[in-house]
């Protein structure tokens, strides 16, 4: 016992340099993983963006400077894809975060069978997006799909849509699919934040005469501030990475209505075999996402608990 106590005291009295070294060694595996999976690919893409590299081409690779960036930034297809990304993000992030908050409050109640409801709401998250997109592709079928069947039933045959084949309805259909699949993930995070709020705060506010709406506004939302910021930031990053559901259902169509930056990158790099142009889109995409994330964190700073 005395030996253990002495070791514990020695650990507490260790010089700051030794403690910093120990902390660095603990973080080293994560740093190596991030550098290998994120930093290195970005640096390779950044280097390729200044070349003329093509896929399976006998032509020698040349240094072309910023020609690829000029070509991409003057391309109507690129700006259409970026606009679609911004449109998708502006709609999905607030809707999905708000729906996740509502579901988290709903399943936070001490009711019988509430665990089953939590599992049901979370189930779509564990389903691979490719499978989800395939299922929704069937549901959105204009002739035999369940979505149109329900619309025709509730409207006496007056409401229906071509959904994924319509330039105006294709992106909303992708949004519905994405929110359905991802809202459970945000719900679980917000639920953890709700359960971390001290019950004494609600009891005190109830004694002071606060209604349920006032408790939600002045207790729940302020205490969930950091959690909601985290959820919104993660949702925004995932929204900008929109690819799988579009690739399975529309391939960026119809008429480019669902074309995103990820679709632009893949089609340039592999279908048109212009690896350097695809790398250029990847670099621009990364810079846009990191810039928006930094600006968002600057505008809405997390409070230090």
Q: pLDDT at residue 302 above 70?
A: no
pLDDT > 90: percent of the chain: 36
The pLDDT tens digits of the residues spanning 26-39 come to: 888 888 998 888 88
The pLDDT tens digits of the residues spanning 123-155 come to: 888 888 889 999 999 999 888 888 888 888 887
CB 221 within 8 A of CB 97: no
Average pLDDT over the chain reads 86
Q: pLDDT at residue 267 above 50?
A: yes
Contacts of 289 (CB under 8 A, 6+ apart): 237, 240
d(CA 20, CA 266): 43
Q: What is the pTM of this model?
A: 0.85
Written as six digits, the tokens of 184 are: 């459970």
Q: pLDDT at residue 280 above 60?
A: yes
Q: pLDDT at residue 7 above 70?
A: no
Written as six digits, the tokens of 268 are: 């340039």
Q: pLDDT at residue 301 above 70?
A: no
Written as six digits, the tokens of 227 are: 């959690």
Written as six digits, the tokens of 7 are: 């070791």
Give the CA distances from residue 61 to residues 19, 58, 214, 305, in Å, rounded to whole numbers and listed in that order. 48, 9, 65, 53
Among candidate residues 53, 101, 51, the one with its CA nearest the CA of residue 223: 101
Task: Label residue 279 by pLDDT band (50, 70, 90).
Answer: very high
CATH superfamily of 66-299: MetI-like (1.10.3720.10)
d(CA 153, CA 284): 46
Q: pLDDT at residue 2 above 70?
A: no
Residue with tokens 């639920």: 191
Give the CA distances from residue 55 to residues 47, 72, 211, 274, 281, in Å, rounded to whole numbers and listed in that order. 16, 18, 64, 6, 16
| φ and ψ of 51, to 5 deg | -120, 180
Instruction: Please give the pLDDT value at position 20.
Output: 82
Instruction: Please give the pLDDT value at position 23.
Output: 82
Q: Where are the domains of the chain?
A: 66-299
User: Average pLDDT for residues 40-53, to the nearest whole number?
Assistant: 90
d(CA 262, CA 247): 10
Cis before 254? omega within 30? yes
Task: Label residue 300 by pLDDT band (50, 70, 90).
Answer: low
Comparing 284 with 3, the larger pLDDT belongs to: 284
Task: Label residue 15 by pLDDT band (50, 70, 90).
Answer: low
Q: pLDDT at residue 173 above 70?
A: yes
Q: pLDDT at residue 9 above 60?
A: no
d(CA 151, CA 173): 14
SS3 letters across 84-144: HHHHHHHHHHHHHHHHHHHHHHHCCCCCCCHHHHHHHHHHHHHCCHHHHHHHHHHHCCCCC
Among candidate residues 56, 50, 89, the one with its CA nearest the CA of residue 71: 50
C-alpha atoms less than 13 angstroms from C-alpha of 286 in its C-beta half-sphere = 13
Instruction: Please give the pLDDT value at position 12.
Output: 53
């Amino acid at each position: 016992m005395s030996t253990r106590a002495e070791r514990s005291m020695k650990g507490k009295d260790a010089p700051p340099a030794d403690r910093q070294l120990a902390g660095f060694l603990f973080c080293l595996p994560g740093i190596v993983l991030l550098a290998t999976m994120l930093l290195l690919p970005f640096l390779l893409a950044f280097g390729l963006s200044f070349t003329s590299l093509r896929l399976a081409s006998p032509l020698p690779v040349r240094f072309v400077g910023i020609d690829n960036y000029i070509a991409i930034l003057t391309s109507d297809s690129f700006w259409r894809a970026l606009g679609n990304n911004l449109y998708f993000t502006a709609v999905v992030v607030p809707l999905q975060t708000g729906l996740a908050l509502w579901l988290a409050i709903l399943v936070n109640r001490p009711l019988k069978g509430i665990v089953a409801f939590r599992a049901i709401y979370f189930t779509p998250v564990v389903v691979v997006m490719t499978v989800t997109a395939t299922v929704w592709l069937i549901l959105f079928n204009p002739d035999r799909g369940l979505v149109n069947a329900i619309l025709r039933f509730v409207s006496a045959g007056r409401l229906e849509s071509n959904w994924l084949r319509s330039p105006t309805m294709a992106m909303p259909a992708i949004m519905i699919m994405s929110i359905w699949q991802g809202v459970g993930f945000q719900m679980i995070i917000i639920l953890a934040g709700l359960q971390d709020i001290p019950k004494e705060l609600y009891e005190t506010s109830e004694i002071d005469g606060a209604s349920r709406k006032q408790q939600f506004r002045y207790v729940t939302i302020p205490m969930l501030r950091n959690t909601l910021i985290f959820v919104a930031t993660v949702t925004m990053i995932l929204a900008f990475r929109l690819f799988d559901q579009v690739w399975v259902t529309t391939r960026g169509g119809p008429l480019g209505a669902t074309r995103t930056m990820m679709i632009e990158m893949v089609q340039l790099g592999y279908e048109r075999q212009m690896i350097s142009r695809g790398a250029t889109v990847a670099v621009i995409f990364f810079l846009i996402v990191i810039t928006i994330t930094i600006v968002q964190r600057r505008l809405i700073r997390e409070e230090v608990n």
